[in-house]
Amino acid sequence: MMVEKIVDAFKDRFGAEPVIFRAPGRVNLIGEHTDYNDGFVMPAAIDRYVYFAIKPNGQNVYRFHAFDLNKSFTTTTDLISPSKSRWANYLLGVISQMVGYGKDIPGFDCVFGGNVPIGAGLSSSAAIESGLAFALNHIFSLGFTPMQLALIGQKAEHEYAGVKCGIMDQFASLHGKKNHVLKLDCRSLEFEPFELRTDNFSIILVNTGVKHSLASSKYNIRRNECQVGVDILKKYNANISSLRDVSLDVLNEHKSEFDKKVWDRCSYVVEENLRVKQAGEALQNKDFQLFGRLLYQSHYGLKEKYEVSCPELDKLVDITEPLDYVLGSRMMGGGFGGCTINLVRNTHIDQFIEQVKLHYKTPQGNTPDIITCVIANGAELFS
């Protein structure tokens, strides 16, 4: 239905038959706030999408319409710069990066919209960037690889949206593989798929109802705090360029030189990288109990050391603790709101939902949105 609405909106607005693309949102099973520290993450694309109806218009103009917002934006092809229309910056940033690579991006019309919740930690912004990048690459035969498209989306987020994000979100939206999570080395950009079939348990998201905005949150502050720690340790080893290069032993050796907050931030990141590696081993061995325990450990690190959780996220995780049919639970995404991610045995999904609804209401007093995810493929031509 969503696709049909977007196509109809395109035809009504531009009087032409578009080509349809889609790009998924993502979940991150484990490895939070490690990507911009050159660490490891373990995301997967999910069956929530942003759809794009696109067609070249033969004019020197870009015309965008955000279906979900019912807002439009137009600019000429020779005038690409950040706009006061924040939503348009995700698109303009992608075009700007491609032009920076020396590519000619002719005028086109675009209507986009979808069912990736905004502000829930499912990377709706990355789905927009990745979907447009994939579509333009296809339509204009630009020759970019999927990883290059991910880097284009990341730089668009940096320069046009003002969020110094890592590569994970755009990577997952473009490289997703059905029934697999992807362990990504955010430094080398090498990745390894691990099979994660949901025959016996499901990935279920619970939305706190608290929306976050990374650009205006403490995200960039956390990034700077990590850099402070790196700068301290660099004095002893010039080869340390990020927390990826730091072991717990080295960190503990110099603990007295750290402000407590900075040490907490850095120790969390180093520990989280170790958890991602352990999570990969657990999946290889089909040890889902261990995998679930690592999710809980990740949450408490994010809550106590990285301080990016919030009371609503903590409440949702606390609800799961006594439930033996929940293998693991944690906050997911940048923090300060959004969703928890839960591994729940398929035999008890109804009980899980019942418990959540019984014990949690959003700040607005509503029953939270509960989303069961299917692990899906990455950006693709839809029709």
320 vs 32: CA distance, rounded Å: 20
* Coil vs helix vs strand at 154: helix
User: Helix or strand or coil: residue 125?
Assistant: helix
Non-local CB neighbours of 228 within 8 Å, separated by 6+ positions: 259, 262
Q: Angle of helix 124-139 relative to helix 146-156, nearest 10 degrees?
A: 130
Q: Find the helix or strand (DSSP H, E) in which 138 lies.
A: helix 124-139
Residue 107: both structure tokens together = 């005028």
Catalytic residues: 169
280 — phi, psi (to 5°)? Answer: -60, -45
**Sign of torsion, CA 236 237 241 244?**
negative
Q: Two tokens at 33?
A: 């706030």
Strand, helix or coil at 161? helix
